[in-house]
Structure 1
């Protein structure tokens, strides 16, 4: 019997677990404005290796649904990939001690001029665990109202040219599966919303659900 067949019969739950290896040395190679490039010397028990990765504060994204089952997507230029991507409102968790949902609400107001009365945790993921420790939480936000004109954020740089569009959720999911959408929070968030809706939204967690994967500001 192959290892694959043996693994298929396991009764252990499929759950990611915290299992740190001993770090023998840590070096900051490049210190950036938002995140750093670092190198760790890691003891894997059977060998010692050096691993370079981006040390990232983490981020949040918001799948925003209106009363017509449409999701809000924003077109924004992303320089590393030289493309304008359709993505949900999102932003960094770069305010020390700030709750993730508060940060998400701020991004929703700043990028989309919206306030949501209903918040839930939709899905959590690591964006690039092979080379980046960024943990990202995607919220589901509903029961929307506009930010008053006098209180609206003045968008600058890439955010200045943001184009919003309300897209039926099923159409957004089709766009993901066609390969038309590539922003990871759009891909993960849209498909998670479709799956959760199919189950009557029973999978939704509270907005303040535990999130041990989030890197703490003091780390």
Structure 2
């Protein structure tokens, strides 16, 4: 005999907090993130958890007039290689509007601007220990300008068909989380639009 499945409501889970923060100690503060040692009580068991704070970021899926996606290829030190990504960058402050950040990043990394923006989704990149939240937008009717990326960046622009980007994802060759989420969400939402 099968038990009846209860209705699932996210609100029910969000109200229950099984972990109580006892103490948070800053261990490292860098230009992009802060690393903390959290001393927590998990149902009566006290332990230490790593916690990384990031002020958030924005990303843009830029759509060219012919429907191709404008991508950036840049070196990522953590992976030791170049990656193919959508343009993105961190917010300048905790309260900077995600869309304002997205507009700045599109301009800096690609040289393009747009007046036609649509919110696509938010993603939390690594929920086990990092609070980074990325707001992702679609930009259309792009107007070409000049790149003006940061002095420590070297960015190459590439135009891609949506289907080719999806093939790279399925082949395990395009693995950047925000980019995968953006491409697949865009394909699902706009493919037949």
TM-score of the superposed pair, with normalisation by structure 2? 0.88
Cross-structure match for 1:29: 27
Cross-structure match for 2:148: 153
Cross-structure match for 1:84: 82
Q: Secondary structure at the match of 2:96?
A: coil
Q: Distance in 2 between matches of 1:18 and 1:186?
A: 31
Distance 1:156 1:66, change over 3 A: same
What is the deviation of 1:137? Answer: 1.4
Q: How many residues align?
A: 191
Cross-structure match for 1:53: 51
Over residues 119-153 of structure 1, what are the superposed CA-to-partner deviations in whole Å (9 max), with x where a residue is unaligned?
11112111111121111111111111123x5xx52
> What pairs with 1:150-189 in structure 2 (closer than 5 Å)?
153=148, 155-157=150-152, 159=153, 161-189=154-182
Q: Distance in 2 between matches of 1:18 and 1:199?
A: 38
Q: Secondary structure at the match of 1:120?
A: strand
Over residues 140-172 of structure 1, what are the superposed CA-to-partner deviations in whole Å (9 max), with x where a residue is unaligned?
11111123x5xx525422x2x311011011111
Cross-structure match for 1:196: 189
**Match among 7, 14, 17 for residue 11 of structure 1:** 7
Q: Distance in 2 between matches of 1:103 and 1:172?
A: 24
Q: Distance in 2 between matches of 1:101 and 1:67?
A: 21
Contact 2:52 2:131 in 1 (8 A): yes
What is the deviation of 1:93? Answer: 1.2
Structure 2: 5+ residue stretches without partners: none
Over residues 108-128 of structure 1, what are the superposed CA-to-partner deviations in whole Å (9 max), with x where a residue is unaligned?
000000111111111211111
Q: Distance in 1 between matches of 2:184 and 2:75?
A: 23
Q: Secondary structure at the match of 1:116?
A: coil
